[in-house]
Amino acid sequence: MTLEVKNLTAGYRNKIVISGVSFKLEPGQVMAFFGHNGAGKSTTLKTILGALTPVEGEVWLDGERIDQLPIADRIARGLRMLPDRRGVFPDLTVEENLEIVAHANCVGSDVRFRVPDVFELVPALRDRRTAVAGNMSGGQQQMLAFGLTILGSPRCLLLEEPSVGLQPDLVESLFGHIGEICRQQGISAILVEHRVASAMKIADHVLIMNNGEVVFDGAPAQARQSNFWEYF
């Protein structure tokens, strides 16, 4: 899915947090989205999803303007978000979590990812399918949250700090899954992440924000040659 953000300005109440944010993400691309705390990364994702209404600017998905649509309609069009706080049902097992979300998301004959597909893509979940989510470690809950995010027919993933709580080996495994899923399925993804080196391994595109504005937009190789480290 092509995601295009044009001159996006948004904030909370009377405070502007992001201003003039623009970028374009092509199908199959992973965009590493960097910046220090408070730079405006979360606000950008929330505005794309529809949790915040932009003051100015536009959001387009595959040539359709969606910034005036409710969140449910954006999700129905394939937009998915993994929040920085795990969105799991703590009293249900891993399998029950997946089944309840699949009931809502896996509708129709062209579904990309059903529950068995998630277990195949994320083996750590398959091994814990009967475990109660609330009793699992933070890293295991994060893997489950990712599994819930991709259920159905996602076309653009908004991933906010997916590595939180994960051991280094699981981070590499999860990021490998993200890159593989996006490239094989033509799914675009925005990856907000503090593990810069790991994110750069799968990124096709790098966006860096500082004080609510885009200060770098380009290829990973260009980012490595720049002084982008000053923004962390």
- Ranked by mean pLDDT, which of 91-100, 156-165, 176-185 comes out on top? 91-100
Annotate 76-136 with DSSP letters as a single string.
HTTEEEE-SS----TTSBHHHHHHHHHHHH--SS--SB-HHHHHHH-HHHHTTTTSBGGGS
pTM summary value: 0.91
Q: Tokens in use for 231?
A: 């923004």
Per-residue pLDDT averaged across 22-33, rounded?
97
The per-residue pLDDT for range 66-82, each reduced to its tens digit, is: 999 999 999 989 999 98
3 state SS of 229: helix
Q: Is the pLDDT of residue 83 over 80?
A: no
Q: For position 231, what pLDDT does the model report?
A: 62
3 state SS of 161: coil
Annotate 28-88 with DSSP letters as a single string.
T-EEEEE--TTSSHHHHHHHHHTSS--SEEEEEETTEE-TTS-HHHHHHTTEEEE-SS---
Residue 159: in which H helix or E strand, if any? strand 156-160
Per-residue pLDDT averaged across 48-59, rounded?
96
Tell me the pLDDT of the chain averaged across its residues: 91
The domains found in the chain, sorted by start residue, are: 1-78+155-165+182-232 (3.40.50.300), 87-153 (no CATH)
